[in-house]
């Protein structure tokens, strides 16, 4: 593993519940030597990716990240574009919706919105990375993503999150096939024991899936009719997202005419 990766991985230890991390805590988390960890921390800090609390001496994520987000958003306003669309989708279907982008072999959440219309809600932490094989977003992405990614995931370890997680590659391959044919994916209780979700791919300019939009509902509310309603709106939102981000759908994607819009 390269030094750069070692340093950057440290940033992933931060989360909603862990906003400040001290030197010794980092040593425990990484399993690396204290001197090594310290030098990495210092170098990250010098570049603004971390900053040290002047009182507790613990480290937190630094201002460089904010600035870079600004630069990225100026070029490809993903967050800016995604926010209203996800919000509209979530409010429309009355359930939690989120968009995640591919990052390595995981999904990186970009924005989520829960209209909180019901007593039970789906738990969602924007700080946590999502697995590809156990989420509807992931399956949708694998179905229309780069071939290398598909092979890598199929031949890699498939962590079991619930009894319904597709942990053998044959079952996963089947799920991916189904998603490719349908243009979206449906997954029940595969990541969270009580959640059913549906995901649809978002494409880049090359017609490769780079992310996915998904609606998750508590399994108890997941009637076939409700899922069918969600499906239509989900696909419409996905198409809109692809378009707004300057992408075009894969030729393999069975893009139905967007609901309510007749094809010319």
CA distances from 212 to 99, 130, 255 (A): 6, 12, 15
Among 11, 14, 22, 152, binds DNA (CB under 7 A): 22
Alpha-carbon dihedral 77, 236, 248, 100, rounded to 10 degrees: 50
Q: How far is CA 29 from the centre of its chain?
A: 23
Q: Is 57 a residue that touches DNA (CB under 7 A)?
A: yes
Kindly report the length of the chain: 264
Complex with a second copy: residue 166 or 247, whichever CB lies closer: 247
Complex with DNA: residue 4 or 264, whichever CB lies closer: 4
CA distances from 217 to 93, 115, 148 (A): 10, 12, 31
Cβ contacts of 160 within 8 Å, gap of 6 or more: 167
Span 142-161, contacts to DNA by CB under 7 A: none
Among 11, 52, 218, 221, binds DNA (CB under 7 A): 52
Residue 38 binds which of a second copy, DNA, none (CB < 5-8 A, kind-dependent):
DNA
**Of the ranges 38-46, 156-164, 183-191, 256-264, which one interacts with DNA (CB under 7 A)?**
38-46
Complex with a second copy: residue 77 or 257, whichever CB lies closer: 77
Among 3, 159, 174, 223, binds DNA (CB under 7 A): 3
User: Is residue 42 within a helix (H) or strand (E), and if so which, with residue range?
Assistant: helix 34-46
Residue 182 binds which of a second copy, DNA, none (CB < 5-8 A, kind-dependent):
none
Complex with a second copy: residue 126 or 160, whichever CB lies closer: 126
Strand boundaries in the chain, DSSP class E: 50-52, 59-61, 96-103, 106-113, 130-131, 185-188, 195-203, 209-218
Please give the residue ranges that form the binding site for a second copy (CB under 8 A): 2-5, 7-9, 11, 14-16, 19-20, 39-40, 43-44, 46-49, 51, 53-55, 60-72, 74-76, 78-79, 101-104, 108-110, 126-127, 129, 146, 204-206, 208, 210-211
Closest to 76 in 3D by CA, of 188, 242, 225 = 242
**Of the ranges 1-9, 77-85, 196-204, 224-232, which one interacts with DNA (CB under 7 A)?**
1-9
CA distance 153 to 131: 10
Among 2, 70, 119, 260, binds DNA (CB under 7 A): 2
Residue 158 binds which of a second copy, DNA, none (CB < 5-8 A, kind-dependent):
none
Q: Is 35 a residue that touches DNA (CB under 7 A)?
A: yes
Q: Is 75 a residue that touches DNA (CB under 7 A)?
A: no
CA distance 153 to 133: 8
């Amino acid at each position: 593993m390269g030094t750069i990766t070692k340093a950057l991985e440290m940033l992933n230890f931060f989360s909603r519940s862990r906003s400040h991390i001290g030197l010794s805590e980092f040593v425990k988390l990484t399993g690396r030597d204290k001197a090594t960890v310290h030098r990495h921390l210092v170098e990250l800090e010098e570049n603004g990716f971390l900053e040290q609390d002047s009182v507790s001496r613990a480290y937190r994520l630094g201002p460089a990240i904010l600035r870079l987000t600004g630069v990225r958003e100026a070029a490809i306003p993903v967050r800016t574009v995604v926010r209203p669309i996800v919000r509209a989708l979530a409010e429309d279907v009355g359930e939690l919706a989120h968009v995640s982008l591919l990052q390595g072999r995981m999904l990186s959440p970009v924005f989520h919105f829960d209209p909180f219309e019901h007593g039970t809600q789906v738990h969602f932490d924007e700080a946590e990375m999502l697995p590809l094989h156990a989420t509807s977003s992931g399956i949708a992405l694998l179905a229309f993503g780069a071939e290398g990614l598909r092979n890598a995931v199929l031949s890699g370890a498939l962590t079991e999150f619930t009894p319904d997680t597709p942990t053998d590659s044959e079952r996963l391959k089947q799920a991916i096939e189904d998603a490719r044919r349908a243009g979206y994916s449906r997954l029940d209780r595969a990541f969270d024991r009580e959640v059913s979700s549906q995901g649809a791919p978002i494409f880049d300019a090359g017609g490769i899936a780079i992310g996915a939009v998904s609606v998750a509902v508590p399994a108890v509310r997941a009637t076939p009719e409700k899922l069918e309603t969600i499906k239509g709106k989900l696909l419409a939102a996905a198409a809109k997202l692809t378009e707004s981000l300057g992408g075009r759908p894969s030729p393999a994607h069975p893009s139905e005419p967007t609901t309510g819009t007749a094809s010319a």
